Chain A
């Protein structure tokens, strides 16, 4: 059984989802790469920000 940490799971999820989003939402390969990278950064960045927000709320 695979036991990734929460952050590793976020990275795996973001990588797979961003790949599909990039390919399906844009027309040309350079724009696909840019949009995929943008989605990946948003997935990971929002997870980090929300984690800090929850940490600070819980204190």
Chain B
């Protein structure tokens, strides 16, 4: 595995300002990181995909992890946390089903966790766009 720190694309000026802003915004609100770097279509598609996945999970009575009782619960909560504000609003509003009772609710739980993980990927992508590592 390479340990060389990533550098901006050659020929491009070094980014100015707080480069982590798109990363944080993208984590809090799906697609917001791409909006901040001017990638409107990409941001809109990401927002639709992730928000749809989160709410499809809720519609299937998927569970939102609220505590880490064991290692699987901890991993699930980390995944859920990736959704940013959606997770915090969901917890505050008491969204999500009770612990899995049906097969469909199990699918829903996975949808919610994966929505969070995809949002983390998208936020890192927005950060790469901001730093110039990706165009």
Binding site for B on A (CB under 8 A): 1-4, 6, 9, 12-13, 15-17, 19-21, 23-24, 27
The residues of A that contact B48 with a CB separation of less than 8 Å are 19
Residue B29 CB within 8 A of the other chain: no
Asked if B64 CB lies within 8 Å of chain A CBs, one says no
11 A-B pairs, CB-CB below 8 angstroms? A2-B56, A2-B104, A4-B60, A6-B107, A9-B60, A9-B107, A12-B56, A16-B118, A17-B118, A19-B49, A20-B118
Q: Is the CB of B104 within 8 A of A19?
A: no
What 8 A-B pairs have minimum CB-CB distances, sorted nearest first? A2-B59, A24-B125, A19-B49, A16-B53, A16-B49, A20-B118, A9-B107, A23-B42
Q: Which residues of B contact A1 (CB under 8 A)?
A: 59-61, 104
Q: How far is the CB of B115 from chain A (nearest CB, A)?
A: 8
Give the contacts of B86-123 with A (CB-CB under 8 A). Answer: 103-104, 107-108, 110-111, 114-115, 118, 121-122
Q: For residue B105, give the distance in angstroms from its CB to the closest CB of chain A.
A: 9
* Chain B residues near A (Cβ < 8 Å): 42, 45-46, 48-50, 52-53, 56, 59-61, 103-104, 107-108, 110-111, 114-115, 118, 121-122, 124-125, 134-135
How many A-B residue contacts, CB cutoff 8 Å?
62
Alpha-carbon separation in the docked complex, A6 to B57 (Å): 14
Beta-carbon contact of A4 and B122 below 8 Å:
no
